[in-house]
Amino acid sequence: MAQSIGVTITNTQNTNYYASPSSSSASSLASNIGESIASVAGVIWNFPNSVVGATLGLAGVPFGAQVSCCANNAIQFTNNPLMVQGTAITIGNTISYSSSWGPNDQFQNGNFVSDHELQHTLQGEQLGPLYIPSNLLGGVAGLLLNGSWRGSANWNEVGPYSTPATPW
């Protein structure tokens, strides 16, 4: 294990990067700083969506939703009674889970719900204010072509449902 020289950079995925005294440490640190800057820019670009998601999550708090920060690249609202049972939704860098479907539950393909929802936060960081319209159009395409919002015609769901989960 490399010895740390005391520089820690934390990105929004709660990953710590340490600069170590090796020949590649400068380029590795620069790469990590670049990734952190891109992540912060994505969170800012996604902020209008996050306001919508936080509104949904916070509206559930007086009725029992619990708030946790900051896992899966998001502020999470678990046990949100405003959610349809067995569902979760990501809007911006927020995730709301119903009381019967949480971050540690798994899909049949073995992926955790949290990994799936994380991919939607990354989509939002890439699309910014276009994320909600993209999700609505993709969902309608899934309904019309596959009979399911989550059908393969919904481009916003293809990557998150793949194994391993990816944004696209």
Same domain, 89 and 77: yes
Same domain, yes or no, for 32 and 102?
A: no
Would 168 be classed as within a structural domain?
A: no
Among 89, 112, 87, 106, which Cα is nearest to 98's?
87
Q: Are residues 103 and 59 in the same domain?
A: yes
Same domain, 98 and 137: yes
Find the domain containing 100 and state its range.
47-161
Pairing of the two strands 16-18 and 8-10: antiparallel
Q: Are residues 107 and 76 in the same domain?
A: yes
Lowest-pLDDT range of 33-42, 63-72, 109-118, 120-129: 33-42
The answer to whether position 3 is within a domain reads no
Percent of the chain with pLDDT over 90: 76
Residue-wise pLDDT for 32-88, tens only, equals 887 888 889 999 999 999 999 999 999 999 999 999 988 999 999 999 999 999 999
Q: Are residues 32 and 98 in the same domain?
A: no
Do 116 and 154 have their domain in common? Answer: yes
As a whole number, mean pLDDT of residues 10-34 equals 55
**How many structural domains comprise the chain?**
2
Per-residue pLDDT at 26: 65
Q: What angle do CA 86, 54, 107 make, to 5 degrees?
A: 25
More confident residue, 93 or 29: 93
Query: What global pTM score does this model have?
Result: 0.80
Do 136 and 108 belong together in one domain?
yes
**DSSP state letter for 147:** S
